[in-house]
Amino acid sequence: MVDVAPTAPVPLKTKAPPMVSVVVPTRNESDNVGPLVERLRTALGEMPGEIVFVDDSDDDTPEVIASLADDDIRLVHRTAGHRDGGLGGAVAAGFAAAQAPWVVVMDGDLQHPPETVPDLLTAGRNETAQAVVASRYLDRGRVDGLGGLFRRFASRATGLAAKVLFPRRLRTVTDPMSGFFAIRRDAIRPEELRPDGYKILLEVLVRNRVERIAEVPYTFQPRTAGDSKASLREGLRYGRHLAGLRVATLRHPRSATGRMLGFALAGAAGTAVNSAALWALGEVAGLPYLVAAFLAVQVAIIWNFVVVDNLVMPPGERTRGHRFGRFLLLNNTLTPVHLGLLFALVQLGGLHYLGANVLAIVVVFLLRYVVTTSWVYGT
Ligand code: GDD
Ligand code: MN
């Protein structure tokens, strides 16, 4: 057995360069790895491949894997203290070690039938997909081995939660919770991954923005040896993973619509910030309303900058200080108009300055829109 750092597997020479790297995460699966290797070798037949075990065991699984070792088997043993990200972290370490153009991820407990692996690869080639998911919920797919009613319900509910939160990315995926899938190695950008527990497929599809996803049905088999490591703790971890993933991918949207929405939401909240600041400065601090309004505009601009800079726009080349300076300056060009309008509405229109201020914000916003679309873009 060889203990090595997670990202440095033992390199073994393979005769032909592998077409497929099968990444198998294992934790205490000593009775399963032997039959798994045998069935995988048969299933792959002539196709050159490698099996990369990423093992986090405390039992003798690594010794059993080492005893099977041939040119086609590699082992990354993560010792205690190096098991970041649990199952997902292990798969990510497998991605880093994989050498073939296609990577298949499957469990080491035979619940994922090795005989389905060639189907995944065929579908990937025929449908020019970047990833192929083995699905328990696609026409002929089944969940036989999933166990009790609660586990079945949990599987459906967590899958649905993922589809609700990532509707576009998971549109064609019936089983986003699957731990059995094939993916082109060049579709994986390991540096973007933040694996956290079981749902590594979701992590890859969402964070690496995988575009073309195919599916193949399979039947989830009952476990015949060893125990499942799924637990309530893993369930809670899933909630945390999902929330983190959603927040992280909401930031810095790439589409024009996403950015526009970000601007609009920041601006809408900015109106509330502006009004609150104006109220505090005018009513509580007792400043003259035009002075208070000028300061409230500055507060709102700072608010908008913090939101837009952190959540909406990617930072670009300029330093944060430089970006802030430009933001403040450009946003202040319309401040005289804002204050003039406010003055007119209060003095001539007889409005209360707090209400007049909201009106001024809206008009200035429209003005900004008209000015940029007609003067800058000539439409
Ligand atoms: N390296 C490593 N580290 N492997 C782990 C760890 C870990 O912390 N936890 C579990 N594993 C390994 C197990 O040894 C097994 O090979 C595989 O990951 C799946 O673990 P199970 O505990 O058997 O999970 P399950 O059967 O309840 O759920 C599996 O199947 C579902 C349906 O496809 C998982 O793959 C789920 O993600 C999947 O939704
Ligand atoms: Mn299992």
ipTM summary value: 0.97
Q: Check if 143 has its Cβ closer than 6 Å to any atom of ligand 1.
A: no
Name the DSSP class of 252: S
Among 176, 168, 182, residue whose Cα is nearest residue 123: 182
The percentage of the chain sitting over the pLDDT mark of 70, rounded to a whole number, equals: 95
The answer to whether the CB of 192 falls within 8 A of the CB of 186 is: no
pLDDT value at 330 more than 70: yes
Diameter over CA atoms, the chain: 91
pLDDT tens per residue across span 247-276: 888 887 777 888 888 888 888 999 999 999
Least confident window among 138-147, 223-232, 254-263: 138-147
User: What is the pLDDT of the chain when averaged over all its residues?
Assistant: 90
Which of 111-125, 127-141, 179-193, 275-289 has the lowest average pLDDT? Answer: 127-141
Greater model confidence, 5 or 79: 79
Question: In the prediction, which pLDDT does 11 show?
Answer: 57
Q: Which of 198, 204, 219 to mutate to test the pocket of ligand 1 (most atoms within 8 A of CB)?
A: 198
pLDDT at 203 over 80: yes
Q: How far is the CA of 108 from the centre of ligand 1 (A)?
A: 8
**Nearest atom in ligand 1 to 32's CA:** 16
DSSP element (H, E) containing 41? helix 33-44
342 vs 368, residue with greater confidence: 342
- What's the confidence (pLDDT) of residue 256? 82
DSSP conformation letters of 105-119: E--SSSSS-GGGHHH
The pLDDT score that the predictor gives to residue 8 is: 58
CA of 107 to the centre of ligand 1 (A): 6
- Mind listing the pLDDT tens digit for each residue in 45-56? 999 999 999 999
Say if residue 223's pLDDT is above 60: yes
Instruction: Using the predicted structure, report yes or no on whether residue 282 has a pLDDT greater than 90.
Output: yes
Write down the pLDDT at residue 154.
85
pLDDT at 377 > cutoff 80: no
User: Mean pLDDT throughout 163-176?
Assistant: 92
Q: Is 16 helix (H, G, I), strand (E, B) or coil?
A: coil
Q: Measuring from atom 26 of ligand 1, which residue has the nearest CA?
A: 228
pLDDT above 80: residue 22: yes
Q: Read out DSSP for 266-314?
A: HHHHHHHHHHHHHHIIIIIS---HHHHHHHHHHHHHHHHHHHIIIIIS-
Distance CA 198, CA 178 (A): 9
Pick the more confident residue, 365 or 204.
204
Nearest CA to ligand 1 atom 17: 107
Is 93:188 a contact under the CB 8 Å cutoff? no
Of the candidates 86, 100, 2, the one whose C-alpha atom is nearest the C-alpha of residue 51 is: 100
Please tell me the predicted confidence (pLDDT) of residue 293: 98
pTM, to two decimals: 0.76
DSSP run (H or E) holding 5: none
Please report, rounded to a whole number, the percentage of residues in the chain having pLDDT higher than 90: 66
Provide the residues around ligand 2 (an ion) whose CB is within 5 A: 109, 111
Q: Ligand 1 centre and the CA of 280: distance in Å?
A: 55
Residue 15 has pLDDT above 70, yes or no: no
Residue 347: pLDDT band (50, 70, 90) is very high
Residue 244 has pLDDT above 70, yes or no: yes
Distance of CA 253 from the midpoint of ligand 1 (Å): 32
At 145, the pLDDT band (50, 70, 90 cuts) reads confident
Closest ligand to 32 CA?
A: 1
E-only strand ranges, the chain: 20-26, 49-55, 73-77, 102-105, 131-135, 181-184, 213-217
Phi, psi of 74 (to 5 degrees): -125, 155
The identity of residue 77, as a single letter, is: H
Planar angle of CA 200, 204, 208, nearest 5 degrees: 160
Q: Is the CB of 241 under 6 A from ligand 1?
A: no
On the question of pLDDT at 373 being above 80, the answer is: no
Residue 27 has pLDDT above 70, yes or no: yes
